[in-house]
Amino acid sequence: MNEYASLIGEKVVLEISGKRLLPGRLIDVGSDIVVLLYQLRYLYIPFAHVHNLKADVSSGEGSESGSQAEEPSIGLLVDQLNVAKIMQEAKGLFVEIYVSGNKSIHGYLNGVMNDYFTLYSPIHGTIYVALSHMKWLIPYPTSHVPYARSTGTAPMGQTQPSLAKNFEGTLKKEEGKMAVIDLSGASERIAVIKGVAGGIINVIDADGNSTLLNIAHVKTMVVPK
């Protein structure tokens, strides 16, 4: 059994990629994922981004208390807990994911492929997300109403793009189109996809400059419709 499992039910502090510390209660441990209760939110965190985990000896009343979410998120129930099964279980739900920076991304989890998945965001439309860069996932209850709109159900009228099996294949399908890479405002990250091959994406910015990006470091992509 994984050594993390010895701390299930205990208050812990977990450090993830980006030197971010998350105090909470360790709820479960799977083959490649841990579940942390943090401020009434169930965070599903892949092992790949867990740098260390230790008992929280200074938490006082409980590190999962404090400023709490307006509505608790939900704990997904699966046999043999792992990333792949959690992603499948969360399909169709409104979720929060954290990739990098100081902001999370919210949307409906739609397609789940080999090494990436898609979110439908009311703000950005369809977002392609490389699974290897997902630091955590928080699933909301089906009763949750995003942005206090009149309905909390997934926008079924939204056309799901044709998806390739892997992330590079999907980037290649979007050749010739304008894209926003990593939801960034940097000029070289708002560009036309000129070509995709051998793990490299060639993008052309507004000034006509070419930048070769290593796909392994591309976290998200939006192709405006």
| Closest to 134 (Cα-Cα) out of 15, 5, 213, 16 | 16
pLDDT, mean of residues 172-189? 89
Across the range 77-96, mean pLDDT stands at 93
Q: What is the pTM of this model?
A: 0.88
* DSSP three-state, residue 29: strand
Whether 113 shows a pLDDT value over 60: the answer reads yes
Query: Is residue 139 very low, low, confident or very high in pLDDT (cuts 50, 70, 90)?
Result: very high
pLDDT at 79 > cutoff 80: yes
Report domain extents, the chain: 1-59+77-81, 167-222
pLDDT bracket for residue 152 (50, 70, 90):
very low
Average pLDDT over residues 91-115: 92
pLDDT, residue 63, reads 45
Residue 156 has pLDDT above 50, yes or no: no
Q: Do 1-59+77-81 and 167-222 share a fold?
A: yes
Q: Is 129 in contact with 119 (CB distance < 8 Å)?
A: yes
Calpha distance 56→37 (Å, rounded): 13
pLDDT band with cut points at 50, 70 and 90 for residue 35: very high
**Token pair 């309905």 is at which residue?**
151
Q: Which CATH number fits domain 167-222: 4.10.410, 2.30.30, 1.10.1060, 1.10.600?
A: 2.30.30
Distance CA 168, CA 201 (A): 9
pLDDT at 73 over 80: yes
Ramachandran area for residue 39 (φ above 0: left; ψ -120 to 50: alpha; else beta): left
Q: Is the Cβ–Cβ distance between 193 and 175 less than 8 Å? A: yes
Quickly name the fold that domain 1-59+77-81 has: SH3 type barrels. (2.30.30)
> Residue 17's pLDDT band (boundaries 50, 70, 90)?
very high
Question: What does the mean pLDDT of the chain come to?
Answer: 87
Read off the pLDDT band of 123 (50, 70, 90).
confident
**pLDDT tens sequence across 48-60:** 999 999 999 885 5
Give residue 146's pLDDT band: very low, low, confident or very high (50, 70, 90). confident
